[in-house]
Amino acid sequence: MNYQSWIEGINGKASLYSFDILPDGKYSEIRLMAVNRESEGMVLMNPDAPMFYPGIPYRVYWMDLNFESFVYKCAETLEPLYSYVNARGVWLKGFYIPISDIWDEEPHEPKPEGTRTFYCLYVVHFTMQAKTESMTHRPIEVTNAVLDIGIKLHESKDFYQSMGDVVATIMEFCGAEMCSIYTVDKAAQECTFINRDGVQDQIKNNLSMEMGRTPIEIAEEWEKDLALSDGLILDDLSVIEERDPVWYQSMRQHNIHNIVLYAIRHNQTLVGFIWGANYDVSRREQIKETLELTTFLLAAVIANHQLLSKLEIKSTVDSLTQIGNRNAMAEYILEIENGHTERLKNLGVVFIDLNGLKKINDKEGHSAGDNLLIRASSIIRAVYSEDHIFRAGGDEFVIFCPDTTEEEADEKVLQLKKMAEATSDVSFAVGSVFSTGEYDINYIVKTADERMYQDKKAFYKSNPEKNQRN
């Protein structure tokens, strides 16, 4: 019987693999022996691969270390294995079945005496949506761990506390010395490093400096390190040394000798990673099965958080200047009035109006006016970088300067006007108030507004050609 005629009798997408255990106990590479018609697209995955023949190295088509581990274990132990994983947005139900050597075909190359050859049949079914019943075919230990993680995800209303609790659970289950969730928002180009103690910006920044990569570049390189797989469980760092020498050196500095890395994807979009180091290698299979399901649970929660964050930003951030809008200013004032924010002993309020915006809009169009607003807001942010800045209206900005001094407040107003005067098109009318002790914040804002209009009136008196309100 030859390989091809045998495998055509298998229903579903089927492929046959073999490997050798050499006399010294080492494993050979895995060979692809046959695929049935339903699975023949596999040999077309890599257009640069040589023409298929029985025994071609399977890695010419793709590479997945977790898949290889299952093939080796299934064939050598003569035990069928089952997996259910999310691979790039597709749910794969895989059956690994050990097969005896029943073939008539001779090997292409002679093998050393004492070599043992093993065969594994892989049959896979895939769906676009997860099937709950397929997830339940797991050891009770894995099922309980995933259930515990699911509960932790929703115990707290605080997203980052929930993530920290999940990290602690994963860390304990894996017997790992280090563990984190690294969220990724590609649209915003932002990443967050979360360990069991919560958000750790300093660790993220240190990692970035060590590797000479931005946080988002770290995520991009980790995607490459996965090499089309959604997860790696490595008992040593040899694979990382080959694929990513920069990350390898960073891990060596921290005495890391093995790692777990799983991508978290929502609708095929990367939203994060689970990362662990120095895990208990005796729990490798339980870790694999648990994290495969955990990434599914985490994906929806992280994606939902990122969406809500974007909606919250849209409701409180001015889309043109990217500073707080009128809604955000109202919330800030309300928090102070209601005592939700600690009462400030000293407070400076600055009301700013961009002179000449209406003329620019009428003469050159709103696109030119928008560009002027962006340049103006850049100057304001440069001067008031440590204060609370809001765009209150079309050409108006309000700044709250907490715990300042009257001298500092006056100095910033002078600095703002000097920077505007250094440009050819930006000019500000400014009104400011400094208060200490007991104060009415709404009265302060109103007073600063009135002083701004006095300054604006003086500007248009000196520059009547820029006053389009007459």
- Tell me the per-residue pLDDT of 234-255, one tens digit each, with 9 for 90 and over: 999 999 999 999 999 999 999 9
Q: What average pLDDT does the segment 432-451 reach?
A: 90
Say yes or no: 387 and 296 in one domain: no
Assign residue 41 the CATH number of its domain: 3.30.450.20
In a domain, 391, yes or no: yes
Residue 80's pLDDT is 92
Say yes or no: 296 and 439 in one domain: no
Q: What is the pLDDT of residues 16-49, one digit of tens each?
A: 999 999 999 899 999 999 999 988 887 777 778 8
Domain region containing 301: 138-309
Angle, alpha carbons 41-47-53 (nearest 5°): 65
Residue 106's pLDDT is 57
Q: How many domains does the chain have?
A: 3
Q: What average pLDDT does the segment 326-346 reach?
A: 79
In a domain, 426, yes or no: yes
Segment 360-365 long-range contacts (CB within 8 Å, at least 24 positions apart): 360/425, 362/468
pLDDT greater at residue 344 or residue 53: 53
Say yes or no: 94 and 187 in one domain: no
Which of these, 123, 66, 124, 127, lies nearest to 91 by C-alpha position? 127
Q: What average pLDDT does the segment 172-180 reach?
A: 96
**Identity of the residue numbered 387:** D
Say yes or no: 202 and 233 in one domain: yes
Read off the tokens for 403.
């715990």
> Cα separations (Å) of 100 from 17, 80, 172, 285?
12, 13, 39, 24
Say yes or no: 149 and 295 in one domain: yes
Write the DSSP string, 325-354.
-HHHHHHHHHHHHTTSSPPPSEEEEEEEEE
Q: What percent of the chain has pLDDT over 90?
A: 45
Say yes or no: 389 and 301 in one domain: no
Q: What is the pLDDT of residues 132-166, one digit of tens each?
A: 666 666 778 888 888 888 888 877 888 999 999 99
Out of 63-67, 168-172, 345-349, 378-382, least confident range:
63-67
The pLDDT confidence band at residue 203, using thresholds 50, 70 and 90, is: very high
Residue 381's pLDDT is 87
Looking at 79, 110, 132, which one is the last position of a domain?
132
Tell me how far apart the alpha carbons of residues 272 and 66 are, in angstroms, rounded to a whole number: 19
Where do we find the tokens 């495998």?
Answer: 7
The pLDDT confidence band at residue 312, using thresholds 50, 70 and 90, is: low
The pLDDT confidence band at residue 470, using thresholds 50, 70 and 90, is: very low
Which of these, 112, 29, 101, 24, lies nearest to 68 by C-alpha position? 29
The pLDDT confidence band at residue 199, using thresholds 50, 70 and 90, is: very high
Q: Which range, 135-144, 224-233, 245-254, 416-425, has the best average confidence (pLDDT)?
A: 245-254
Q: What percent of the chain has pLDDT over 70?
A: 92
Q: What average pLDDT does the segment 73-101 reach?
A: 84
In a domain, 221, yes or no: yes
Q: What is the pLDDT of residues 94-128, one digit of tens each?
A: 899 999 877 666 556 677 888 899 999 999 988 77
The pLDDT confidence band at residue 307, using thresholds 50, 70 and 90, is: confident
Q: What average pLDDT does the segment 161-181 reach?
A: 95
**Identity of the residue numbered 180:** S
In a domain, 314, yes or no: no
What does pLDDT average to over the chain?
87
Residue 108's pLDDT is 60
In a domain, 317, yes or no: no
Looking at 132, 151, 169, which one is the last position of a domain?
132
pLDDT greater at residue 338 or residue 118: 118
Say yes or no: 114 and 69 in one domain: yes
Out of 71-80, 205-214, 263-272, 312-321, least confident range:
312-321
Residue 317: DSSP 8-state: B
In a domain, 321, yes or no: no
Q: What is the pTM of this model?
A: 0.60
